[in-house]
Structure 1
Amino acid sequence: MVNNRFLDVIKILLEHDDYITINAISKRLQVSNKTIRNDLKQVEEWLKENDLTLVKKTGVGVTILGKQDAKVHVMHLMQQKNAQSIDYSPQFRKIYIGMRLILCPQNCRIYELANELYVSRATIHKDLLALAPMLETYKITLHRKNNNGLSVEGKERNYRAMLLELMNHDNGYQKFTAMIKDPDFPCTGDFVFPALDYIDDEIKEFLQVLKHSENSYLHTLLCPSLFQVLLHLFICFIRVREGHYVSLSDPFIEELKSKPFYEETKKLIQALEEYYHISFSETEIRYLQVFLISLQSSSDTAKDEQEEARELSDLLIAEWEKHLNYSFHEDTELKSALYAHLCPAITRFRHGISIENPLMYEIKTLYKNTFSIAKASAHILTERYQAPISDEEIGYFALHLAMALERAKKPLRTVLICHDSSSATKLLKRKLMTQFPELDIVAVQSYLTVHDFPFHEIDLILSTMELNLDNDIPFIVINPLLYDCDIAHLKTIITSYFQKKNDPLLKAVQQKQAR
């Protein structure tokens, strides 16, 4: 069984680019320093197996060093291990309680939730407070009864939208997607989603019914979209089976008659109706049609929505330029990618449809600043559609912005000062250029000529000897032979300077201060 705290320690370390003290980790996890020190022994061994190094500095703290792709690989491994671990964290309890409130045919009772989650009633009350913003987002009202009974009130489509978001974040979602990918998935009779009374055999049966329906539409979907369509269908299935139905206005149903994907939706529904002997109303079919429309490609989008997507793309990019004080005018790739994402997203915004983003952990860990900028710009969409925009959707915007910033990154303009022979200097320069793609060595100088060199627009000076130069440019003394240990040490320093040069928020702050 995986120790959740072990995973939490690694997660905290990966979230910090710099050193963090053991005391800070212990306070965050509410355990002793000694416990964290013991955990770090296991963490260190596990990181070694995954090409990462745990570095400890007395009086400074601990950090993880290694290549970015190794860190991303570790994040994926942690997600897999999380699915195997027993989880009674506040996030798990929030998901569990939210699902139980919607799915419970009668009132939920606080003492029952406390017993099911192995916590006190006071903790359940705190969890309900944590759940309140989500309920408000979906316009669902929580009613508390004097006898500790809990019930919710809202529109059925809002219940389903909230269920979709909760199930996307439940650990059971990984098992759900594994069952889709593997037709021979070994079932154990366990509940996939702990708050839902469906075991893995039943969910696998449901998925097989749809897969064997020979619906060509499913084969056109990429994996993330396929997962969402099947999960959405599953939610609709269990709600209809329990007698809960959505309602849509007559004008909106009439509007949908001119939209695509009706026949594809109807075929999926017919497969469920024939196998389970249940009936879906025309309104239910139209409701599912809207979800399929929300996943369509930009080429299938109506012309008016294409124009709207172009307008929104321009507005978002302008907002990002204002935050970063940087122009994306020449980045046609950003405009094209953002437009392609917004075309189907407009339907999601209008109808409050959630979308899964499997990269959320990586985005919030590796692109924290970019995500904060994307989130700050979401008011453009919120104000237009009078609905909140989910973090998953914002995460996709953050990815588009992050990719644009990656394309805009510039190497460190570097001067190399070397007092050795010409051949030794050439060898050193070649080593530096091979090992450090972050460097652009624009000039090689000797200690005799360097004092006359114009250092404007230079970011870094590397020298094989100590020198006193009259400027504020970072100056690093390097070994002319550049051994492996020198390269490892230098990598950390150069990466730090490279990130600072290309940090959009830092540059924006510096430009403001310079005014």
Structure 2
Amino acid sequence: MINKRVMKIVDVLLKQDSYITIDDISLQLKVSNKTIRNDLLLVAEWLNGNNLQLIKKTGVGIKIDGSKNDKLQIKAIVNEKNKSIVDYSPEARKIFIGMQLLAFDNCRIYELSNQLYVSRATIHKDILALTNDLEIYKIVLRRKNNNGISIEGKERSMRNLLLELMLHDNGYQKFIDIVRNPDYPCDGSFVFPGLEVSDDEVHDFVACILRSGNTYINSLTFQPIVLLLLRTFISFLRIQENHFVTLSDTFISELKSEPFYNDTRQITDRLTNHYRVPFPEMEIRYLQVYFLSLQNSSDLTIEDKKEAYLISDKLIQSWSNELQLPFEQDTFLREALFTHLTPAITRFRHGIPNENPLMSEVLSQYQHTFDITKNSISCIEEHFHCHVSDDEISYLALHLATALERMKLPLRTIVVSHGGVGVSNLIVQKVSTQIPEIKIIAQETFFSIYDTDLENIDLIISTIQLNLKTTIPIIQVNSILHDYDILRIKDIILEYYKIKNDPLNYKTALHK
């Protein structure tokens, strides 16, 4: 895989009819002379593979030598690889700018303005929006007198931010498609435009790992594989730019007793051999932590299992107190939380982001459940001294939603019939067998219903019009209940059932 600056260097060289000095190139690309010299090795290799040569003349400079047709073909390739992003929405611009800051040490406002086809004032607004995300990861934005910007922060924070940006970039779906399809039809376009990484480069990287026969990777389901590939790809990109993580000696010592080092080493050795990009020992240990974060309960120590159960019990207690429901009696909930938390505690300890592809649906379908879950995660944040992301919260919310489904309360219903006991019993039988959301509490007549205590009743089904002074919904049906009566009842009660079983209404619903 070629360095991201290679295309820029080739672009500069193609615009010259004569020699250009390395100093001039470094000034144009805003990087050091040494960086350009190192990249020229890759430039020469890439040009040789495309029927061109990089000519160096001492004291004069460098230029590309070859036929005009070959140069035109290379120019077309460079232009294709340097496409600007298609999506110009504020969110897409923010992601693009964030990726540019992480891909290159310095960015200039006017260059971003030209790339995104917006004014400099718009770029400043986008940067302001990005600053909020930077603060979450404790990354500082630096502004320079020459209208340039850069970011500073811990390397692990930089990588976590990059993962977050990639997960929300339109290219994430394209990345998934490449992982899913070994024969993905690459066309040289960018997967993540802000990183200037093309689909053929991503495809080669993914294939290099997935074809390794790594037993750990082969044991994972699809979504964890995608996340592992992204995390490894991020490390690879940052290492190429000479940005390395640092881990304490104590932490590395602890990792030596943990599993998956050999699995991690197999992957990094394969990447080193394929791309000639060495992974230092500390980088291997860093990826080992991420491998650990995806492990299942069978790989955990006894202490880790105790910790997972401890957090599970604290969450269950918080939900029980909030909703006044006996979640502590739900053994399925406890085991489901334990299974989720066994790999999650490693993510909490080391600030490893997770991604939930269903988060938007969770927020749409279970907003109140999500809110209750979010109010309960202080036990995690205080225990691990971490920030729990909305993605992690949405996973936990799904477990709470499942438990709530098991505890859903039916609508307490009275049947009123003027056709006698036989008609009334028939209605009760049909409703009870075909509409599980309803529980028949009593059967009343046209006269007795007016003397009935309705305090704990949710619904009345009647074969005759009633003039009760009540806010309780009354559904009038035929004496001989038809199929369309059943369908109409189901349609009408849907909203009432949903409201009663809304988590925010459970405290009231429990007393009915």
Aligned to 2:102: 102
Helix, strand or coil at the partner of 1:266: helix
| Bigger Cα displacement from structure 2, 488-497 vs 415-424 | 415-424
Deviation at 1:307, TM superposition (A): 1.4
How far off is 1:429 after superposition?
A: 4.7
Q: What amino acid is the match of 1:101?
A: L
1:172 and 2:171 correspond = yes
Matching of residue 345 in structure 1 with residue 344 in structure 2? yes
Counterpart of 2:251 in structure 1: which amino acid?
F
- Give the superposed CA RMSD: 2.6
Moved more, 439-448 or 352-361: 439-448
Summarize deviations over 1:30-88 as a string: whole Å, max 9, x none: xxxxxxxxxxxxxxxxxxxxxxxxxxxxxxxxxxxxxxxxxxxxxxxxxxxxxxx9533
After superposition, the C-alpha distances for 1:7-26 in whole angstroms (9 at most, x for unaligned) are xxxxxxxxxxxxxxxxxxxx
Instruction: Give the C-alpha shift of residue 481 in structure 1.
Output: 6.3
Contact 1:224–1:356, Cα closer than 8 Å, also in 2: no
Aligned ranges for residues 313-328 of structure 1 at < 5 Å? 313-328=312-327
Corresponding residue for residue 281 of structure 1: 280
**Distance of 2:224 and 2:419 partners within structure 1:** 59
Deviations 1:337-362 (A, max 9, x none): 11221122111111110111111110
Note the alpha carbon deviations across 1:392-428, whole angstroms, 9 max, x for none: 1111111111111111102112222233477765665
Aligned residue pairs total: 428
AA aligned to 1:347 is: T
Counterparts of 1:398 and 1:86 in 2: how far apart (Å)? 35
CA distance in 2, matches of 1:153, 1:185: 36
Q: Which runs of 5+ in 2 are unaligned?
A: 1-84
Who is 2:76 aligned against? none
Paired with 1:481 and 1:127, the residues of 2 have a C-alpha distance of 65
Separation in structure 2 between the aligned mates of residue 292 and residue 174 of structure 1, nearest angstrom: 23
* Residue pair 2:164, 2:353 contacting (<8 A) in 1 also: yes
Given that 2:356 and 2:391 are in contact with CA atoms closer than 8 Å, whether structure 1 keeps it comes out as: yes
SS of the aligned residue for 2:196 comes to coil
Indicate the residue corresponding to 1:198 in structure 2.
Answer: 197
- Alpha-carbon distance between aligned partners in 1 of 2:117 and 2:432, rounded to the nearest angstrom: 57
1:310 corresponds in structure 2 to 309
Give the C-alpha shift of residue 508 in structure 1: 3.5
How far does residue 163 in structure 1 lie from its aligned partner after superposition? 0.8
Task: Rate the CA distance shift 1:511–1:110 in 2: closer, same or farther, 3 A.
Answer: farther
Deviates more, 1:288-297 or 1:468-477: 468-477
What is residue 270 of structure 1 aligned with on the other side?
269
How many Å separate the matches in 1 of 2:495 and 2:89? 35
Amino acid at match of 1:147: N
Partner of 2:260: 261
Identity of aligned residues (%): 50
Contact 1:110 1:150 in 2 (8 A): yes
Distance apart, 1:509 and its partner CA: 6.9
Instruction: Determine the C-alpha separation between the residues in 2 that align with 1:349 and 1:100.
Output: 28
Secondary structure of 2:253's aligned partner: helix
Aligned pair in 2 of structure 1 residues 426, 194: CA closer, same or farther (>3 Å)? farther
Quick check: 1:354–1:390 contact (8 Å CA) kept in 2? yes
Secondary structure at the aligned position of 1:316 is classed as helix
Q: CA deviation at 1:510?
A: 8.1
Structure-2 change in CA distance of 1:311 and 1:434 (3 Å)? same
Superposition TM-score, scaled by structure 1 size:
0.77
Amino acid in the other structure paired with 2:296: S
Question: Distance between the aligned counterparts of 2:120 and 2:477, measured in 1?
Answer: 62
Cα distance in 2 for residues equivalent to 1:114 and 1:318: 52
Quote the offset at 1:511 in angstroms: 8.6
Distance 1:101 1:482, change over 3 A: farther
| Cα distance in structure 1, aligned partners of 2:98 and 2:478 | 60
| Residue of structure 1 equivalent to 2:374 | 375
What is the aligned partner in structure 2 of residue 150 from structure 1?
A: 149
Contact 1:177 / 1:227 at 8 angstroms: preserved in 2? yes
Report the Cα distance in structure 1 between the residues aligned to 2:355 and 2:158, rounded to whole angstroms.
Answer: 17
- Aligned residue identity for 1:92: A
Give the whole-Å Cα distance in 1 for the aligned partners of 2:480 and 2:197.
65
Contact preservation (8 Å) 1:324, 1:504: yes
Partner of 1:68: none
Aligned to 1:366: 365
Give the structure 1 partner of residue 93 of structure 2: 93
Structure 1 stretch 253-262 or stretch 498-507: which is displaced more?
498-507
Contact kept in structure 1, 2:411 and 2:439, CA below 8 Å = yes
Call closer, same or farther: CA 1:454–1:511 in 2, change over 3 Å. Answer: closer
Give the Cα separation in 2 of the matches to 1:508 and 1:120: 53
**Aligned residue type for 1:212:** R
Equivalent position of 2:473 in the other structure:
474
Give a deviation string over 1:237-292, Cα, whole Å, max 9, x none: 11112222111111111110000100110111111111112211111110000000
Task: Provide, for residues 464-490 of structure 1, a one-character-per-residue CA deviation record: whole Å limited to 9, x for no partner.
Answer: 211234655332223456677766654
Residues 478 and 132 (structure 1 numbering): CA distance in 2 closer, same or farther, change over 3 Å? farther
- Consecutive unaligned residues of structure 1, counting only runs of 5 or more, are 1-84
Letter of the 1:89 counterpart: S
Partner of 1:507: 506
Deviations 1:126-164 (A, max 9, x none): 222222232112121100112221100111111111111
CA distance in 2, matches of 1:416, 1:308: 51
The question of whether the paired residues in 2 share the 8 Å contact of 1:210 and 1:271 is answered with yes
How far apart, CA to CA, are the structure 1 residues paired with 2:131 and 2:486? 52
